């Protein structure tokens, strides 16, 4: 007896291109004896399937519940259509009939299967560093256009050989329809040159073994990875690491370290399961690990000066894996740039800018479309709360779990430091990789290129452009120019309100009554003063500033953020003249005190309060990188006990005074209270003050944003001190620092009645 066959149309959207989704559908269709077609389009994946209804339902159920490992399904639909008598199942070419309306695909770390291929001497990809499959490899870094097909990437330049083509068309092969498929025969060339441009002829020698020997000898190597250059050297060689710092112009900012393997790492560092999960994830970020009971030989005093933590990562590309296989020591692996500039990805640019830094260059000829720094995460010690420090490779440019109700095409251009761009051209939100400090002209050029790339890829001009309220931010000035050029609506959004709406958006809190606590370094306030210690009320799509750190003097512009001693001066009392006399010359003090008398610009910045505390405790008077004082401050603490804490503010719900905090810290110093206990008291004071304000205004939901909440000890204290009936919300996928501003601007514009 013949059973009735039917045809259904299935639409799948989400992160479903460049992840092996079509090959998986092909295999699944065979499993359930179904015929039809699958293809990519501008919306995602479209499947036409014919067979017995019970089989189609089983196929659809398994597709949704057990998709390919690196895919993320956001929406799906299944609809019966007119019967089509398919004779077999085929993957057919993508048909683009409209504008793109799907997530873009981030880069994926090399999978275990590909790792096995490149170390297997019997495998034809033995020692081939660009080995990938449907489950791993570069995606966003090589994307030129969408849908994600080979011809829309920079890998299109490399025509597949017969064997690669056979894999590509073989349903039983892991590289079936792998768009990044190449091999030693048809693929990307890798070669080694010295810093004068001379090619090192290796003949039959292993290029990675040779490179490892150079690293062992103390050489600095610029390695062109698939997302940009890394500057590498032996992390155990003090002299070489010092030389790298000198050449890169990076005096104190910690370097990340690449370990050859998880086993090697675990022999030297104590790590938790969350650390392991992070280090081995498809995103493979740099993960900051405490140096408790460290057993290795890394030159910590120069790799991570004055810190009790280390940023570590494992190999995430074939290039790094093959190098790691030849190493018996960890290596510094830091962004390939001069400090402050964007990561370099272009071969000619690298030779122009890094010949004075690197002794050798490990090069390849694949063009990188979207250079990206490594992402960085950290877990708090007590509650293991994940905090994103930098969101870039592996995460960008997608953002999931948000619904925007707007028909307008919106581009948000973020802030000035730690810049990012958020674009809303369709039904999805795209948050760019971390771009950097726009004071640097090369970073600004990368920022403009990224904005243009979004517009080109989606073939959509923004109708609304969102900028920070600060008119001299380079992102704001560019937004003004772009709005005029495209005739778009230009909207200014206050910096800290954007922070607040970013965390509201991450947790979908727009139907709740929420206290927003935004602590950071700087941002132009609605009253023309410099905000940075703000308490906001959110309810009924309205944000109101209800409390803030009591204003103190803001002076000397960038000098204040670069020199913590200036913040201490602004917050000092007459009793502290001897302390100031050790930090300033008589001439400086005379000049600055005159400025203080005349000064009218005020600030509520908690970031500058951290600086002042760091200076008062003689931790540092000068920042060589952003946030250095705050990082060193937290790193002076081994642990804390809330039972021993005292509060440095008497009535924070009435008057949250930074000057009172500094005065009380100074008093404790006179009593010889330990530096560690003073820092603990300081963080306790901030945490306790937040709950005092929440209690006064009867809040039960508190959301946190701003760079200060990268302090994981403060995060732990808040979680520990919170009354049981309170709910605390921290950023999940985004960093609490200014990287989230562009996302917050979008959420502010689409949700807040202003």
CA distance 49 to 81: 10
Q: State residue 561's pLDDT score.
A: 92
Q: State residue 204's pLDDT score.
A: 67
Q: Report the length, in residues, of the chain.
A: 754
501-541 pLDDT tens trace: 999 999 999 999 999 999 999 999 999 999 999 999 999 99
Residue 157: count of CB within 10 angstroms of its CB? 10
What is the pTM (predicted TM-score) of this model?
0.95
Tokens of 474: 């380079």
Map out the domains of the chain with their CATH numbers.
5-91 (3.30.70.100), 190-374 (3.90.870.40), 398-503+740-751 (3.30.420.360), 547-731 (3.30.420.40)
Q: State residue 203's pLDDT score.
A: 75
Residue 286: count of CB within 10 angstroms of its CB? 27
Q: Among the options 40, 41, 152, 398, which is catalytic?
A: 40
Residue 86: count of CB within 10 angstroms of its CB? 18
Q: Among the options 22, 150, 393, 545, which is catalytic?
A: 22
DSSP letter at 481?
H
Q: State residue 96's pLDDT score.
A: 67
219-265 pLDDT tens trace: 999 999 999 999 999 999 999 999 999 999 999 999 999 999 999 99
**Which secondary structure element, helix H or strand E, spans residue 48, and what is its range?**
strand 44-52
What does 655-704 look like in DSSP terms, one character per residue?
Answer: -B-HHHHHHHHHHHHHTT--HHHHHHHHHHHHHHHHHHHHHHTT-SEEEE
What is the four-CA torsion angle of 655, 659, 665, 670, rounded to 10 degrees?
Answer: -130
C-alpha distance across the termini of the chain, in Å = 67
Q: Using alpha carbons, select from 27, 36, 34, 95 the residue that is nearest to residue 67.
A: 27
Q: Which residues of the chain fall below pLDDT 70?
A: 1-3, 95-96, 204
22 catalytic? Reply is yes
185-217 pLDDT tens trace: 999 999 999 999 999 999 767 999 999 999 999
40 catalytic? Reply is yes
Q: State residue 1's pLDDT score.
A: 41
């Amino acid at each position: 007896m013949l059973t009735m066959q039917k045809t259904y149309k299935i639409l799948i959207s989400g992160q479903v291109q460049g992840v092996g989704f079509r090959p998986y559908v092909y295999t699944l269709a065979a499993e359930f004896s179904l015929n039809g077609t699958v293809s990519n389009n501008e919306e995602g994946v479209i499947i036409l399937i014919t067979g017995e209804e019970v089989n189609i339902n089983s196929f659809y159920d398994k597709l949704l519940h057990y998709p390919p490992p690196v895919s993320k399904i956001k929406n799906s639909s299944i609809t019966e259509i007119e019967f089509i008598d398919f004779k077999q199942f085929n993957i057919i070419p993508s048909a683009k009939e409209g504008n793109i309306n799907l997530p873009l695909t981030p880069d994926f770390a090399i999978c275990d299967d590909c790792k096995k291929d490149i170390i297997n001497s019997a495998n034809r990809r033995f020692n081939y560093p660009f080995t990938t499959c449907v489950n791993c490899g570069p995606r966003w870094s090589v994307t030129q256009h969408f849908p994600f097909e080979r011809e829309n990437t920079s890998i299109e330049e490399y025509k597949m050989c017969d064997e690669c083509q056979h894999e590509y068309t073989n349903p039983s092969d892991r590289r079936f329809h792998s768009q990044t498929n190449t091999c030693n025969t048809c693929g990307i060339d890798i070669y080694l040159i010295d810093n004068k441009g001379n090619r090192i002829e290796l003949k039959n020698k292993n290029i990675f073994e040779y490179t490892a020997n150079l690293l062992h000898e103390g050489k600095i190597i610029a390695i062109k990875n698939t997302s940009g250059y890394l500057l590498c050297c032996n992390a155990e060689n003090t002299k070489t690491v010092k030389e790298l710092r000198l050449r890169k112009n990076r005096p104190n900012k910690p370097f990340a370290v690449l370990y050859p393997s998880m086993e090697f790492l675990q022999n030297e560092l104590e790590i938790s399961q969350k650390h392991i999960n992070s280090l081995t994830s498809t995103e493979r970020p740099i993960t900051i690990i405490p140096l408790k009971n460290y057993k290795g030989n890394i030159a910590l005093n120069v790799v991570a000066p004055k810190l009790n933590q280390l940023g570590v990562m494992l190999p995430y590309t074939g290039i790094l894996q093959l190098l790691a296989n030849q190493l018996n020591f960890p290596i510094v692996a830091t962004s390939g740039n001069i400090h402050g500039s964007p990561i370099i990805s272009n071969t000619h640019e690298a030779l122009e800018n890094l010949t004075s830094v690197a002794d050798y260059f490990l090069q390849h000829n694949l063009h990188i479309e979207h250079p990206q720094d490594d992402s960085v995460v950290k877990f708090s010690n007590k509650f293991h709360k994940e905090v994103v420090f930098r969101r870039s490779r592996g995460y960008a440019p997608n953002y999931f779990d948000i619904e925007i109700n707007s028909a307008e095409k919106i581009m948000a251009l973020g802030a000035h430091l730690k810049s990012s761009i958020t674009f809303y051209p369709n039904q999805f939100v795209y948050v760019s990789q971390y771009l950097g400090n726009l004071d640097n002209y090369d970073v600004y050029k990368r920022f403009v290129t990224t904005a243009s790339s979004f517009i080109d890829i989606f073939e959509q001009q923004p109708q609304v452009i969102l900028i920070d309220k600060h008119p001299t931010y380079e992102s704001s000035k560019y937004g003004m120019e772009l709005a005029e050029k495209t005739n778009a609506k230009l909207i200014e959004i206050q910096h800290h309100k954007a922070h607040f709406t970013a965390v509201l958006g991450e947790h979908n809190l727009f139907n709740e009554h929420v206290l927003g606590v935004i602590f950071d370094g700087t941002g132009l306030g609605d009253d023309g003063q410099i905000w940075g210690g703000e308490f906001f009320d959110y309810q009924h799509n309205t944000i109101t500033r209800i409390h803030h750190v009591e204003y103190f003097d803001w002076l000397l512009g960038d000098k204040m953020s670069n020199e913590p001693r200036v913040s201490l001066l602004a917050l000092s009392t007459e009793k502290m003249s001897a302390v100031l006399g050790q930090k300033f010359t008589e001439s400086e003090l005379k000049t600055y005190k005159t400025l203080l008398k005349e000064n009218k610009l005020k600030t509520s910045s908690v970031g500058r309060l951290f600086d002042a505390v760091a200076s008062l405790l003689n931790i540092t008077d000068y920042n060589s990188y952003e946030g250095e004082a705050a990082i060193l401050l937290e790193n002076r603490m081994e642990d804390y006990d809330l039972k021993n804490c005292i509060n440095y503010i008497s009535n924070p719900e009435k008057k949250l005074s930074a000057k009172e905090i500094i005065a009380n810290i100074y008093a404790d110093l006179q009593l010889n209270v330990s530096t560690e206990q003073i820092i603990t008291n300081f963080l306790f004071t901030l945490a306790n003050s937040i709950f005092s304000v929440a209690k006064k205004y009867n809040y039960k939901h508190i959301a946190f944003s701003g760079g200060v909440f990268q302090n994981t000890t403060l995060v732990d204290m808040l979680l520990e001190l919170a009354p049981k009936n309170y709910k605390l919300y921290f950023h999940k996928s985004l960093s609490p620092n200014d990287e989230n501003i562009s996302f917050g601007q979008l959420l502010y514009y689409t949700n807040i009645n202003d």
